[in-house]
Structure 1
Amino acid sequence: MNKERKYLCLWIFYIYVTIIQCDELASCYNQPPESCPNNQCKCILTDESSIFCCRTRSYDDLFRNIMCSGTKLPAIKALHIYNMTADRFDFGKFSNQLNHLISLSITSSSVNRLFGRLEHTHQITCLNFSNNAFGTEWPLNELQVLENLKTLAMLDFSHTNISKLPIIKNEVPKFWIDLSYNNNTQCDSLLELMGSVKSSQNKQLLFKNTNDTFCNTTLSFNWFNSTEILAFDQIKIIDKLNTQCPSGCKCKWHGYEMISDKNVLNTVEVDCSNNKLSYLPINLPENTVVLNVTNNNITNIDALVLVDSYKDLRFFYADKNKVSSILALEGSRFMDNYAVLSLKSNQLKSIPMYILENSFTRSFEGHLVNLGGNQLYCDCSTAQYLKVWLEANHKHIPDYREIQCENLRYKVVDLDCEIVCVTQTDWTDYMYYVIAAEISALLLLIGKVSYDYYVFKTAGYLPWPASKMPKLPCDWVFE
């Protein structure tokens, strides 16, 4: 008989697991409040292996009434406890006494804490703890109460004030969880659960009642700074970002962006600052509009033009790097769409005005470029043209007064043409003097030759030094 009962138990277990894993609407064994017994015994059998208990006052009171119903503990496969009052519920005792349970529900009760641990021998596939008042913070040892339930496929924590979710290490293909109507659940804890399931290749985490599922942010939670309560859709965005975020970087939700009357785009912000990067990250999360790579060792920004994941980027902060040129940005999509291009304290030696001018002349007023702290090579052209251009575009280059000259002890805006360009004029005048001296020497030479010729024609001899010069083959022309 014991052997037959064991096979029956395994068959029932298989049916429960199959139903719960395949049917989204499957639920634990639950009975309506009107089914509560009115006699002295607070527990009632609803079938041969399922029992319903109401209004028990403690853990010991629960088991006295189970015995009162005439049920043998090993025979119980499903248990629903309704309206129980107990400060603590000891799973340690429970695990030994009801070790054939497949479904357990403790609902609409005043159970403040769960402790102990259900052993791995349990075949529980469905747990329902809805409508309880669990403590807002479980101690670490109490987070492990469900750790051993390898076959757990459905967990209902709806309508509770649970803040940190317990550790779950089940091994089922599909795991359903209901966290609806909880504003105290910490977003970090929820994301940790989602991440642990993703790390397993053979397990899928599914949520019930997602429209009513929220989580609570903490002071250290920097994803959505505008609110303390996040909807499940926002948590899914964060979970997706956690898998797409570049190594060593921090990714967070940036905001909503309307792309049509009905479609809303969730934009992303990526922070890779202070990361000792020598090049821009190649793969950014989808819809990244903000990238901060401040204080790294990046030498070029070609990825803004060449990498497809940068196609939506509009805010680019690359201060305190080693960027020496922005020529790669000429004619790029980034220059058409950007809102902020920040390259403070880099190694720019010149500013190609024509590249930036095209974006400044458009109607979009949000094109801002930060270039302060760069050490340019300055000359007369810088004083005559670049200085004037910076002053004319000061609304687009708010830190233009902080652009320095590398070879002169001036800021670009302080350059004076009368001083900077004087050196160029003096050098030009010197060349004029050289040319004038050469012309004078030529005239003297022509005069000397003419004089020598005159003396020769009139006196018949050549004066010194012409008389000392050797006779040349061409002299017969003059003779």
Structure 2
Amino acid sequence: MFSCILIGAKLSNIQALHIYNMTADQFNFGKLSPELNRLISFSITNSYINRLLGRLEHTHQIACLNLSNNIFGTEWQDPLALENLKQLAMLDFSFVNISILPNIKIEVPIFWLDVSNNTKIRCESLLDLMKKSGNSKYKLNFVKHNETFCMSSLSFHWFNTTEKVALREVEGIKKLREDCPINCTCNWHGLDMVQDTITLQTIQVHCSNKQLSNLPENLPENTVLLNITNNNITSIDAFVSDPTYKTLRFFYADKNNISNLLSLEGSPFIDNYSVLSLKLNQLKSLPIYILQNSFTRFEAHKVYLGGNELDCDCSTAQSLKIWLLANQRHLPDYDAILCKNFPYKLKVLDLDQKLVCITEADWTQYMYYVIAAELSMLLLLIGKVSYDYWVFKTAGYLPWPASKMPKLPCDWVFE
């Protein structure tokens, strides 16, 4: 319970107001008296407030707002609670338990923010504020720089948790965002723990729906995720030629015009990736040996190829179909890969060997029939000559038709 007694003071004359050791179910900023229009400093400290409501509408002159050493039961009910404070130059959120800052408009030359010793504040919230100040003429400064940390997601391949990150590392991420490729958006991805090496700050780059015809060049350092969905990209040669692709582990390139995966062979990506998504592209065949080697090395690899229309033949039915079935855990949409060279879009899994493995006869096969016929005629001729000779020797005459044949000059040899 909190009570405040102002003896002999007019609200319109008050320039500083400090509320201390208050316990309340809620505090509504919007219900502050309009008469407090000369308020310059406003503090609520060492209090427990379950809910924060409303906006500061009539206190535009507040330059210093102190909400330190508090336990807030929930997040801000209204993210725009402080948006009307155009003169705000100092905001103290130290020793509180909120995770997301309310929306803050920095409209003074130098803005001081204290979020030190805050056990839950998210790094992404600080990065968003840094981004806003970085694109304007106003400067953002942090109080107690060395005591300021934030929480970020942490990934170690299959393992995810949260980790406390120093402010200097967050500022490093801000610098990486400034190096983002043209037409792309770069965001904080998290921290990457790699055994026997330092913890890395990682970046994700989003370039979807930008009508790109080539992969973006010079990705920020430690980029682990690239999303180029719905563009006109035909080649992924950058996986080999661009050294900034060596840290990439998540690649989303759905709805493009990529026609082959041969560039993946020998690239750092094929050894380290977690997700490769190439749905609805122009793949004509799948290099099984490249993907199979990656599946063998690491069980967590996932490849999405649904919607691609392959040139299917007997080999597809005999080899690829069996390979897809054997690697279902790595190919979540294995049953959505199609065959192009059929009147309708037939799934690879529905290919029938009896239909696609019929061998067409070529002209060399007919030679065997010709040779067989000639041998048969030769045997018949030998038999006929032998028979005529036997009749002539035993009966003294030649049977028909040998007797009707004209005599040749050499026939006297046999008479």
What TM-score comes out, normalization by structure 1 length?
A: 0.56
Number of the residue aligned with 2:237: 302
Unaligned runs of 5+ in 2: 23-30, 153-159, 382-404, 411-415
Pair 1:357 & 2:292 matched: yes
Conserved 8 A contact 2:91-2:113: yes
Number of the residue aligned with 2:114: 178
Number of the residue aligned with 1:348: 283
1:374 to 292, 308, 323: 308
Higher mean C-alpha deviation, range 367-376 or range 239-248: 239-248
Conserved 8 A contact 2:279-2:307: yes
- Rounded to whole Å, the distance in 1 between the matches of 2:192 and 2:180 is 20
* Letter paired with 1:129: N
Unaligned runs of 5+ in 1: 1-54, 67-78, 96-103, 217-224, 448-453, 460-479
The 5 Å alignment of 1:63-462 reads 87-88=32-33, 92-93=37-38, 108=45, 115-118=58-61, 127=64, 129=66, 131=68, 143-145=83-85, 147-148=86-87, 155-158=91-94, 164=102, 166-172=104-110, 175-180=111-116, 190-200=126-136, 203=139, 205-208=141-144, 211=147, 233=167, 236=171, 239-240=174-175, 242-246=177-181, 249=184, 251-260=186-195, 263-362=198-297, 364-408=298-342, 410-422=346-358, 424=359, 426-428=360-362, 430-433=363-366, 458=409
Q: Deviations over 1:18-42 (max 9, x none)?
A: xxxxxxxxxxxxxxxxxxxxxxxxx
* Letter paired with 2:9: D
* Letter paired with 1:313: L
- Rounded to whole Å, the distance in 2 between the matches of 1:158 and 1:114 is 24
Q: Residue 133 of structure 2 aligns to a residue in which SS?
A: helix
* Letter paired with 2:107: K
Identify if the C-alpha distance between structure 1 residues 80 and 262 changes in structure 2 by more than 3 Å, giving closer, same or farther.
Answer: farther
Conserved 8 A contact 2:202-2:224: yes
Identify if the C-alpha distance between structure 1 residues 346 and 357 changes in structure 2 by more than 3 Å, giving closer, same or farther.
Answer: same
Deviation at 1:129, TM superposition (A): 3.0
- Rounded to whole Å, the distance in 2 between the matches of 1:246 and 1:60 is 62
- Rounded to whole Å, the distance in 1 between the matches of 2:290 and 2:114 is 55
Deviation at 1:355, TM superposition (A): 2.5
How many percent identity over aligned positions? 43
- Rounded to whole Å, the distance in 2 between the matches of 1:117 and 1:59 is 25
* Letter paired with 2:365: Y
Deviation at 1:325, TM superposition (A): 0.9
Identify if the C-alpha distance between structure 1 residues 432 and 287 changes in structure 2 by more than 3 Å, giving closer, same or farther.
Answer: same
Normalized per residue, which structure has more helix? 1
Conserved 8 A contact 1:136-1:161: no
- Rounded to whole Å, the distance in 2 between the matches of 1:136 and 1:274 is 34
Identify if the C-alpha distance between structure 1 residues 321 and 232 changes in structure 2 by more than 3 Å, giving closer, same or farther.
Answer: same
Deviation at 1:210, TM superposition (A): 5.8
* Letter paired with 1:344: K
Identify if the C-alpha distance between structure 1 residues 63 and 262 changes in structure 2 by more than 3 Å, giving closer, same or farther.
Answer: farther
Identify if the C-alpha distance between structure 1 residues 82 and 369 changes in structure 2 by more than 3 Å, giving closer, same or farther.
Answer: closer
Identify if the C-alpha distance between structure 1 residues 62 and 109 changes in structure 2 by more than 3 Å, giving closer, same or farther.
Answer: farther
* Letter paired with 2:144: K
Higher mean C-alpha deviation, range 253-262 or range 81-90: 81-90
* Letter paired with 1:243: E
* Letter paired with 1:171: P
Identify if the C-alpha distance between structure 1 residues 440 and 353 changes in structure 2 by more than 3 Å, giving closer, same or farther.
Answer: same
- Rounded to whole Å, the distance in 2 between the matches of 1:257 and 1:186 is 17
* Letter paired with 1:61: A
How many pairs are equivalent? 351
Deviation at 1:312, TM superposition (A): 1.0
- Rounded to whole Å, the distance in 1 between the matches of 2:96 and 2:300 is 47
Conserved 8 A contact 2:206-2:226: yes
What TM-score comes out, normalization by structure 2 length?
A: 0.63
Q: Indicate the RMSD between aligned Cα atoms, in angstroms.
A: 5.1
Identify if the C-alpha distance between structure 1 residues 382 and 286 changes in structure 2 by more than 3 Å, giving closer, same or farther.
Answer: same
